[in-house]
Amino acid sequence: MNKKEISEIKKQLTPENCALTRLCACYVDGEKNKKSEMKEAFLSQSEEECFKYFEIFRKSLSGTVGKNLINLEFPLDAEMEGGAQEFLMRLKESRLKDDELLEEFYDRIIESFDYGENYLILLVHGAYDIPGKSSDNEEMFDASDEVYEYLLCAVCPVNLSKAGLSYDAENNRFGSRVRDWLVELPMAGFLFPAFQDRSTDLHSMLYYSKNPEELRDDFVEKLFGCSTPLSAGDQKETFNAMIEETLGEECDYEAVRNIHEKLQELVEERKDEPEPLVLDKAEVKQLLAGSGVDAEKFEELEERYEETAGAQTEFLASNIINTRKFEIKTPDVVIQVNPERADLVETRMIDGRQCLVIPVDDSVEVNGISVRTLDKRNMEKRDF
């Protein structure tokens, strides 16, 4: 799913467009015991409660595709009888009215979700009547050809509110605040099935993780039968290591800057596309070629790619480049440069030492104080 498709589903999580039919919940304590369960029609909740649930479910569809939001494809065995996808299909088709399936779903999460504190499993069934679109891309609500039925799940931590003083209006005094168990925004969640090309895709799903560096691989593997891709941070580390090993002695400032600039160009070209820029092995090779890397290094790239990343690994461009920052770091100095002006920094040998050189003018600040870049006294001596 891309951000446009995700946005279309998020729009249904509002009072005006509500397409949610049934809400189920299971409260689990830190010892993995079920403390409470709920099964109700979604619209039977009060207006205030609905707003809170909308906020939680919208959050489980928020973030960056490829970081917090991960597209997962089911392997074939997951779609066989008894597989994870087949189980989710039965749960969806039951519209959450089969108590045995619900209990099994809760049990599967409790067994695989590693969290030592209290949490709430929220699961909702929705049915979105997909409006058709005219040739000018306008929605035609009376021309629907398909109803997208889905399950949306959020796993939320439940924490005790902070202690403090509060005003007791009844007794007109300040006293200790009553501490409650509060449901917080989700730390994990999923949408099944995926909504691809404005249609149901039973072979894939969307997974949400609040922390993009903790995708909970075991949880995803056990609950969905899918393997997770490298996290955003791991993608960056893997890509950087692969470039260092491929270039070897030629991995100098100019080479890295050229790769950064070329990658930034590719990202800029695709910025208006709904699908994010993804690089596979062939596209990484093209990136290096376009950055001026010698062709003789490509054989090394082939080897390093498979050793470091894996032949089928793909890199999301937004995970391996920061288009808003170009950073140069030594053990004692960090320099941040406007990515569009990375050419201002160059390397030179000065007095036998390798140095980074940055040309400056009169617009220089040190700790917020404007400073002069030329010593007037030295200038006067030279003029004299």
Using pLDDT thresholds of 50, 70 and 90, give the confidence band for residue 384.
very low
pLDDT at 123: 97
Bridge partners (DSSP) of residue 370 are: 365
pLDDT at 311: 80
* Distance between CA atoms of residues 262 and 55, nearest Å: 39
119, 184 contact by CB (below 8 A): no
pLDDT at 31: 93
Whether 376 has a pLDDT exceeding 60, the answer reads: no
298, 88 contact by CB (below 8 A): no
> CA nearest 121: which of 46, 52, 45, 35?
35
- The CA R_g of the chain, rounded to the nearest whole Å, is 27
Please give the mean pLDDT across all residues of the chain: 89
Question: pLDDT digits over 112-129, tens only?
Answer: 999 999 999 999 999 999
pTM of the model: 0.83
Whether 44 has a pLDDT exceeding 80, the answer reads: yes
Domain map of the chain by residue range?
A: 3-229, 233-320, 326-383
Question: pLDDT digits over 231-279, tens only?
Answer: 999 999 999 999 999 988 888 888 888 999 899 889 888 888 888 889 9
